[in-house]
Amino acid sequence: MSKENIIPEDRSNSSSASVRSEDSDSSKQSDSLNSLLKTAENDCGEVCMDVKIQCEGEAKSKRRICGNPIVQCVWGILLILLSISSFIFTPLDFMLMEKLNMRPGMPPYDWWSDPPDEVKLRVYVFNITNHDRFLQGLDDKINVQEIGPIVYLEKLLHSNARFNDNSTMTYTAKRFPIYLPEENTIDMNATLIVPNIGVLGMFSYLHDANFILQSLVKSGASMYQSQPFVQRTIYEYLWDFRDPLLSASQNLAPGLVPVNNAGILDRIYADFTDEMTVKIGQQWGHKEFFQIDRFRGQPQLPGFDAEECPDRIFGSTEGVMYAQRLTKQDVLLYWRKTVCKLMPLYFDSELTRDSVPLYRYNLSESVFERVTNETDCYDTSPPLHRGLSDASKCYFNMPMVVSYPHFYTGGVPKDYYVTGLQPDRAKHNSWVELEPYTGTPFEAVARMQSNLQIHDISSFDEKFARLSNNIIPLFWGEYHQEGLPEHIRKTVFFAIVILPPLSILISTTILLLGFYLVTKHLYLTKLNDKLKTILQFKSKNVSQNKIFAFEKETFLKAS
């Protein structure tokens, strides 16, 4: 039994020993794992502590550098200089200087390259109401009746821009009208009684030609039974005015009669693609910015002899962009090929539109007066009445003259040539309202009337003779820039109204901050100097005190 009792006891001892060994092994493993974790924690703690110490050191170093009085003083001086320079050369000045360069990709260039569709052309035509009575001699003068407006959108395209070495830019400008049916109430198929522009223009052009040529034209008019007045639809009058005599003459003598279509708008827009060269860049400054330097490669007006006419096209603008930093004394020159001369605009008044201060410039009402003391480039022979300007150089030498609508300025007395006109300054004058700093036109209206000049044509046909030495109004047009796109208005509003006071506020804040930093440094320096002086004074007094010297000597002897 003892053996039997001993054997299981040994087994139990062995099993318990194995358990203890396993526990010890597990405890050893756990101890080693804990030690590894503690080591890792210690290492991580040391690394984190090093990083923390390093970060705190860098932060303290930065605070020491930023808090250094000398550094703050330098920053204060720089801020003062920056604020003073911003007062002298403002952000608006910087914007205007940048606009002079007309860099592609910048807003001024993008606005110019794709002008907004804001220009409306309104055409008013004249219907003759007494042509039979006039030809019969019952009425002394033609009576006209205004019909309109016929509304178009005038589209302007700028293309082929190239930058020249002399700080100019050359580009192609093309204009064409787009009919707006939703804004028109006039029936384009309605008929009018109008002067036979083609035949009357040909007779007037050949009024001083030789007898043989006049006889040939007279025979043609008789063969085709041409009449001084004809019936045409409004569309034909504007775009497709044809006559058998005009077509036959154009076929026989294309050099003498270059076209067979005398439609008014067709003639105006048939050749409205022009090469323009304008001044850009800081070389020309604000006053000459975007002024025309060449038109179709020439400095003089088209069709005029440079030696006979002293007028030059440079200094004018096509009306899309004007010079910058304008004053009330500046005279703006406007160029429009349909008028065939430069049109000066003078300051009239100040106004506010869309919360932006604007200048209004009016077109000179004496621009069509006769010039007496120098060469008059816009007169004919026989001389034109005052208030009229020759435009034949821009219309294949056809006898066309321009004036204000209804002769409203009084240059031509009322009912002098025809009856039925109702001149009104509010309806017939021209002006532009623009922001003077940027030269941005907010609204502009240009109104001009085209007239047919008829010389002495009594040698051609009796029924045409009564029209000799007369001026017959054909139509008048209004070019109206109706505001600006909203993004341009907002940009100008920010640049002119918001930016100047905002820049002053920011510059003033920077200036005060700079003075604060400099003053703070000077104050601390002065305070330190005072403390050093006080301490030096006290130390000097203590060293010279006799009691202190006696106690010092006694102490040394005792030692």
CA–CA separation, 558 and 548 (whole Å): 15
Domain count for the chain:
2
Q: Tokens 């406007």 sit at which residue?
A: 334
Q: 3: pLDDT confidence band, cut at 50, 70 and 90?
A: very low
E strand map for 63-182: 119-128, 142-163, 168-179
Does the structure show a pLDDT above 80 at 217?
A: yes
Instruction: Write out the two tokens for 176.
Output: 């064409």
What would the pLDDT profile of 319-370 be if each residue is shown by its tens digit? Answer: 888 999 999 999 999 998 888 889 999 999 999 998 999 999 999 998 898 8
Q: 7: pLDDT confidence band, cut at 50, 70 and 90?
A: very low
Does the structure show a pLDDT above 80 at 21?
A: no
Higher pLDDT: 118 or 132? It is 132
DSSP letters, 206-217, are TTTS-HHHHHHH
Residue 321 included in any domain: yes
E strand map for 20-140: 119-128
pLDDT mean across residues, the chain:
83
Q: Is the dihedral of CA 455, 461, 464, 466 positive or negative?
A: positive
Q: For residue 456, how many other CB atoms are within 10 A of its CB?
A: 14
Q: What's the pLDDT score for residue 54? A: 56
Instruction: Kindly state whether residues 479 and 543 are assigned to the same domain.
Output: no
Q: Over the range 299-323, which residues count as b (16 or more CB within 10 Å of their CB) and which as e?
A: ebbeebeeeebeebbbbbbbbbbbb
Instruction: Write out the two tokens for 380.
Output: 């004919």
Q: For residue 184, how many other CB atoms are within 10 A of its CB?
A: 15
Does the structure show a pLDDT above 60 at 44?
A: no
Instruction: Kindly state whether residues 413 and 534 are assigned to the same domain.
Output: no
Higher pLDDT: 382 or 329? It is 329
CA–CA separation, 409 and 92 (whole Å): 40
Q: Return the bridge partners of 433, or none.
A: 360, 443
The answer to whether 333 touches 344, Cβ cutoff 8 Å, is yes
Q: Which residue, 428, 457, 483, sits at the end of a domain?
A: 483
Residue 343 included in any domain: yes
Mean pLDDT within 124-145: 95
> Range with the lowest mean pLDDT among 72-76, 127-131, 390-394?
72-76
Instruction: Kindly state whether residues 468 and 550 are assigned to the same domain.
Output: no
CA–CA separation, 101 and 99 (whole Å): 5
The answer to whether 99 touches 324, Cβ cutoff 8 Å, is yes
Q: For residue 517, how many other CB atoms are within 10 A of its CB?
A: 21
Residue 281 included in any domain: yes
Q: Return the bridge partners of 402, or none.
A: 389, 450
CA–CA separation, 99 and 323 (whole Å): 11
Residue 1 included in any domain: no
Q: Which residue, 420, 448, 483, sits at the end of a domain?
A: 483
Instruction: Write out the two tokens for 308.
Output: 């006979």
Q: What's the pLDDT score for residue 554? A: 66
Residue 378 included in any domain: yes
Collapsed DSSP state (helix, strand, coil) of residue 234: helix
CA–CA separation, 361 and 433 (whole Å): 6
Does the structure show a pLDDT above 60 at 55?
A: no
Distance of CA 426 to the CA centre of its chain: 27
Q: What's the pLDDT score for residue 360? A: 97
Residue 62 included in any domain: no
Instruction: Kindly state whether residues 208 and 333 are assigned to the same domain.
Output: yes
DSSP 413: P
Instruction: Kindly state whether residues 216 and 128 are assigned to the same domain.
Output: yes
CA–CA separation, 47 and 33 (whole Å): 20
Q: 6: pLDDT confidence band, cut at 50, 70 and 90?
A: very low
DSSP 298: B
Residue 374 included in any domain: yes
Q: What's the pLDDT score for residue 14? A: 46
CA–CA separation, 201 and 213 (whole Å): 15
Instruction: Kindly state whether residues 181 and 305 are assigned to the same domain.
Output: yes
Does the structure show a pLDDT above 70 at 46?
A: no
Residue 61 included in any domain: no
* % of the chain beyond a pLDDT of 90: 45
Q: What's the pLDDT score for residue 15? A: 45
Instruction: Kindly state whether residues 300 and 433 are assigned to the same domain.
Output: yes
Higher pLDDT: 397 or 334? It is 334
**In terms of residue numbers, what domain contains 541?**
529-559
Q: What's the pLDDT score for residue 142? A: 95
Q: What's the pLDDT score for residue 94? A: 87
Instruction: Kindly state whether residues 479 and 542 are assigned to the same domain.
Output: no
Instruction: Kindly state whether residues 412 and 553 are assigned to the same domain.
Output: no
Instruction: Kindly state whether residues 179 and 278 are assigned to the same domain.
Output: yes
CA–CA separation, 437 and 315 (whole Å): 18
- Provide φ and ψ at 239, rounded to 5°: -125, -20
The continuous run of DSSP H or E covering 296 comes out as none
Q: What's the pLDDT score for residue 325? A: 93
The answer to whether 361 touches 480, Cβ cutoff 8 Å, is no
Higher pLDDT: 518 or 275? It is 275
Q: Which residue, 448, 483, 518, sits at the end of a domain?
A: 483
Does the structure show a pLDDT above 60 at 373?
A: yes
Q: 17: pLDDT confidence band, cut at 50, 70 and 90?
A: very low
Q: What's the pLDDT score for residue 2? A: 42
Q: Tokens 């105006």 sit at which residue?
A: 268
Q: 56: pLDDT confidence band, cut at 50, 70 and 90?
A: low
Instruction: Kindly state whether residues 430 and 333 are assigned to the same domain.
Output: yes
- Provide φ and ψ at 121, rounded to 5°: -105, 120
Q: What's the pLDDT score for residue 271? A: 84
Q: What's the pLDDT score for residue 51? A: 46
Q: Return the bridge partners of 333, or none.
A: 316, 344
Instruction: Kindly state whether residues 422 and 545 are assigned to the same domain.
Output: no
Q: 64: pLDDT confidence band, cut at 50, 70 and 90?
A: low
Q: 50: pLDDT confidence band, cut at 50, 70 and 90?
A: low
What would the pLDDT profile of 449-506 be if each residue is shown by its tens digit? Answer: 999 999 999 888 888 989 999 999 999 999 999 888 888 899 999 999 998 888 888 8
Q: What's the pLDDT score for residue 19? A: 40
